[in-house]
Structure formats: structure tokens, C-alpha cells
Amino acid sequence: MADTSAIIDRLRRVVGDRVIVDTDRMASYTTDWTGRFRGTTVAVVRPGTTAEVAGVVRACRELGVALVPQGGNTGLVGGGVPLHGEVVLTLQGMRSLSPVDGTAGQVTAEAGVTLAAVQQAARSAGWEYGVDLASRDSATVGGMVATNAGGTRVLRHGDTRAQVLGVEAVLGTGAVLSHLGGLIKDNTGYHLPGLFCGSEGTLAVVTAARLRLVPALPERTVAVLAFATVTDAVAASVLFRRSLTTLDAAELFLAPGLDLVCSVTGLPAPFDRRYPAYLLVEAADRSDPTGALAEVTGSVGGVLDVAVATGAHRRAELWRYREAHTEAINTLGPPHKLDVTLPLGSLAAFIDDIPGTVRSVSASARTWLFGHIGDGNVHVNVTGVAPDDERVDGAVLHRVAAAGGSISAEHGIGAAKRRWLTLSRSAEEIHAFGAVKRALDPDGILNPHVLLPEQAGAR
Ligand code: 2HG
Ligand code: ZN
């Protein structure tokens, strides 16, 4: 492998002075958002065009140096930081957004465009973007494609994969693929956007995406319902999904998480009393959906209390109880994040049992549970465990697999769950993953230490 100064010189030949080598300036690129995953690198390189990205990839290939593509660095599985000394390729310098095509309902965004910017552009053109998540101001299109980000609207509009009509991307060879025409029907072979969604930077560096927009539904109502048990909250979410055609989101949080959010943010509690489980539902339509939401709420069993919001300000306040969980939990130290899905029939029992599973492995650990209940997706957060102590992770993920769930719902595998991929994927599937990886990245330079087990991705 080339020495540090040869790497920096070579990268400078591609992008000029957009190579960061100062340790202080590199710090925000080498540590993940949670603080659990801390790496080091010789350089952070910030290309401004797809041609420059291709130049960086080719340079790294020639030098035999691995690279980690990075977007907004909001990932939660250690998949975007240089844990093995990789060069960091930040896409933050690629922030162009095309005008919205109002006829097709589409927009093309470069990889560094934030989710909030896509949402804003869509709204100003009378459309909406179908994906939303709490880190919208920092999360970028490239990162969302790479992780196949989900968020709070999946039950209505699907995940990122369902929005991506085309991509521009640089393979591990330095070859550029560009297919951004946005045709809805295009049955001309392998669906590379689908393949790159969720590939975590291991197959290609995505530099732009053609995104499908959805019709704007400006009238919104949010309700938080309180329950005595998780079982009641899950049953209610099923009823909402079945009966409320305007349902946009169905989210779960529990009493300990709400207490923490209120103490960290200073928000007042939503109810005079404390209840064990809460379901947040949002309905969205062209006309006021409050009546339909109230009607379904009236038929839900076990509702102990309800808070309703129609105005934007109060709606945002109710959402904050759910969305602020991530930042509130981080104040307790770097958490272990176990984003999992369960079959809906096993979800309530899983949520009830998992704190005991965690305690049996680590007496000092605390478990925080919340998530996108409409998708069967629970975010198991565990605090009070050393960053490199993976016993809790193993216990939780084995329990998920035994219940027929997936070890990653929407955050990806990254470095954090790599050793457990076999719980969700067969040897044959992992072998096929490795074959695809070697075909598109023959020298194994694109994010080689995430997702695939060590052997599977090897040249
Ligand atoms: C969310 O749903 C994000 O808020 C983050 O996926 C989840 O912090 C987490 O575990
Ligand atoms: Zn989530």
C-alpha cells in the first residue's frame, strides 16, 4: 500500500485542495453520530462532481487503498466511518437538485442533498417526498439510498428503494453508470437502483438519484393514544392499518422513553398520568382527516387517553415525543442500536421480553424500545454497555432470528451487525452477495469492512 503522502498527493491531483488532512477537521468524519464507532483516516476527500468521484475511486484502486463513502454521517451501524483506516469520500460537496418535474412528479438529487432539501423542493412544486425521518436536516440522498432508509412513512409510501427510479453511480472499477431518465416502466434488464439501495457503499458510490414524488396531502391530524399494554397498542396499530385509508404513520413509544425525552428536552408530559405504552398515529389527506381518525379511534379497544393535534405546531410537539428518543438516549452515552423487525404476531411478546433478555446478559444495561410499529420495526436501544461489548447485541439478535424476524429493518448491517448476517441470510445468499461484490468492485476497495462477512466479500 502507498504511504500517506503518496495517497494525499494522488487525491489532490483529482480534487485539488478539497482533501482534508487536518486531524481536528477530520474528527467529525471519523466518528459516527452516536460516538460508538471511532475510526482514523489519512484523508477526507470531497469531490464536487461524478467525474471527480470516479477519479477518486480510480486513484484509490491504483493505490490499493480502501475508501468509505459518507453522506450526512447520520448512520447508526458504523457503516460510514473509517474503522480500518479507509479514506473517507464525503459526498457533501455534491448538492445540486434539479428543478422538480411537475408533470412526472420527479426530481433528481445529487448524493449530498439533504432529505429536508428534497422535501422542501417537492412541497414548493405541489408534491411531497414519500420518505421522512428524524435526521432529515442532515441525512443525505446518497446515504439514504446506500442504507435503503425507511423512517415514518414506510407503511404508506414504502422505503427509499420504492422511491428511487434511477441512479448515477461509480463502480469499484471507476466506471460510471448513469440511468436517470425516470421512466416508470423500464423493463430492460437488472434493476441496478434496487441493487444499490441497501448496498451500504460496497458495490458503488451513488452520486445522484432520480426520485419519485407523491401527491401532496396537506391536511394532517396526529393523535397519541395511551394504553396499559404493548399488546393493546399493537392491536390498535393493526386496526388503524386496516380501517384508516389515510393512515400515514403508526409509531410506538413506552413510558421510560417518554420520561427520558421529557427530562432531556424539557417538554411537558402529554398526559396528566403516566401510561405504559403509547401509539402515535398520523392521518393525511386532501381534506381534514380528523373525523375519520376519530371514528377509528372510537372503535379501538383499550384506549386510556388521547391527545389530538391538527395545527402544525401542536402536531410537531406530539411528534417530538417520538422523534426525540434518539437524541435523548444519546445523552446517556453511546448506545448499542439494534434496529430489528418482527412478524407482527410476535411483536408484543418480543417487546415485553427483551429487557429481561438484555438484563440476563448485562445487569447494568438499560433497554429503550420504540419504533415504527406499523412496519413491525422496533428500535432496541441499549445503554450502559461498553461500545465494544457485543454480548447484548448477540443475545437480542439471536432472539429476533428465533422469532422469524430480521436483524436489520432500516439502518443496515454496517460494521455493527456484520458478524450476525448469517442469522438473517443463508450461506447461499451470502455467497451470491459476494459474487456481485466481486463483479462490481473487483479489487474490494469500496467499504470492504461492512455488511458482508470477511470471507464473502474477499477477492
Ligand atoms: C428513528 O426511527 C430512527 O427515529 C433512529 O430510525 C432510531 O435511534 C434509533 O435507534
Ligand atoms: Zn427508525
> Could you report the per-residue pLDDT of 407-446, keeping only the tens digit for each?
999 999 999 999 999 999 999 999 999 999 999 999 999 9
pTM: 0.97
Gap between the Cα atoms of 50 and 162, Å rounded = 24
CA of residue 233 to ligand 1 center, whole Å: 19
> Could you report the per-residue pLDDT of 78-127, keeping only the tens digit for each?
999 999 999 999 999 999 999 999 999 999 999 999 999 999 999 999 99
Gap between the Cα atoms of 369 and 434, Å rounded = 33
Q: How many CB atoms lie within 10 A of CB 115?
A: 27
pLDDT score recorded for residue 116: 98
Gap between the Cα atoms of 146 and 196, Å rounded = 6
Q: For residue 212, what are the contacts with CB-CB under 8 A and spacing of at least 6?
A: 105, 106, 130, 162, 163, 164, 165, 182
Report the percent of the chain where pLDDT is more than 90: 98
Q: Using 50, 70 and 90 to split pLDDT, how confident is the model at 454?
A: confident
> Could you report the per-residue pLDDT of 272-288, keeping only the tens digit for each?
999 999 999 999 999 99
Q: Which three cell numbers stand for residue 233?
A: 397498542
Q: What angle do CA 217, 220, 225 make, to 5 degrees?
A: 140
241 in contact with ligand 1, CB cutoff 6 A? no
The number of the ligand nearest the C-alpha atom of 339 reads 1
225 in contact with ligand 1, CB cutoff 6 A? no
CA of residue 187 to ligand 2 center, whole Å: 32
Q: Which three cell numbers stand for residue 329?
A: 438516549
φ/ψ of 220, rounded to 5, equals -135, 145
Residue nearest to atom 5 of ligand 1 (CA): 326
Gap between the Cα atoms of 239 and 309, Å rounded = 20
Q: What mean pLDDT is predicted for residues 324-352?
A: 98
Q: What is the 3-state secondary structure (H, E, C) of 26-38?
A: HHHHHECCCCCCE
Gap between the Cα atoms of 254 and 257, Å rounded = 6
Q: Using 50, 70 and 90 to split pLDDT, how confident is the model at 457?
A: low
b (16+ CB within 10 A) / e for 71-107: bbbbbbbbbbbbbeebbbbbbbbbbebbebeeebbbb
CA of residue 325 to ligand 1 center, whole Å: 8
CB contact at 8 A, 77 and 29: no
The number of the ligand nearest the C-alpha atom of 139 reads 1
The average confidence (pLDDT) of the chain is 97
For residue 1, pLDDT beyond 70: no
Which of 206, 215, 70, 109 has the alpha carbon at shortest distance from 118? Answer: 109
For residue 459, pLDDT beyond 80: no
Q: Which three cell numbers stand for residue 17?
A: 485542495
The number of the ligand nearest the C-alpha atom of 330 reads 1
Gap between the Cα atoms of 137 and 155, Å rounded = 22
Which of 79, 91, 93 has the alpha carbon at shortest distance from 39? Answer: 79
For residue 456, pLDDT beyond 80: no
Which of 457, 415, 448 has the alpha carbon at shortest distance from 64? Answer: 448
Q: What are residue 224's DSSP bridge partners?
A: 280, 307
326 in contact with ligand 1, CB cutoff 6 A? yes
Gap between the Cα atoms of 412 and 220, Å rounded = 30
CB contact at 8 A, 68 and 112: no
Is residue 169 classed as helix, strand or coil in its secondary structure? Answer: strand
CA of residue 133 to ligand 2 center, whole Å: 7
Gap between the Cα atoms of 290 and 105, Å rounded = 27
Q: What is the DSSP letter of 303?
A: -
CB contact at 8 A, 387 and 51: no
Q: Which atom of ligand 1 is nearest to the CA of 151?
A: 2
CA of residue 339 to ligand 2 center, whole Å: 8
Site to probe by mutation for ligand 1, drawn from 131, 138, 370 as the one with most ligand atoms within 8 Å of Cβ, is 370
pLDDT score recorded for residue 119: 98
Q: Which atom of ligand 1 is nearest to the CA of 410?
A: 6
For residue 71, pLDDT beyond 80: yes
* 268, amino acid identity: P
CB contact at 8 A, 253 and 325: yes
Q: What mean pLDDT is predicted for residues 344-363?
A: 97
Gap between the Cα atoms of 320 and 457, Å rounded = 40
CA of residue 143 to ligand 2 center, whole Å: 15
Q: What mean pLDDT is predicted for residues 307-326?
A: 98
134 in contact with ligand 1, CB cutoff 6 A? yes
Is residue 41 classed as helix, strand or coil in its secondary structure? Answer: coil
Q: Using 50, 70 and 90 to split pLDDT, how confident is the model at 359?
A: very high
367 in contact with ligand 1, CB cutoff 6 A? no
For residue 458, pLDDT beyond 70: no
Q: Which three cell numbers stand for residue 435?
A: 459474487
Q: What angle do CA 59, 62, 65 make, to 5 degrees?
A: 80
Residue nearest to atom 10 of ligand 1 (CA): 379
> Could you report the per-residue pLDDT of 135-192, keeping only the tens digit for each?
999 999 999 999 999 999 999 999 999 999 999 999 999 999 999 999 999 999 999 9
pLDDT score recorded for residue 309: 98
Q: Which atom of ligand 1 is nearest to the CA of 339?
A: 10
Site to probe by mutation for ligand 1, drawn from 32, 159, 280, 339 as the one with most ligand atoms within 8 Å of Cβ, is 339
Q: What mean pLDDT is predicted for residues 347-366?
A: 97
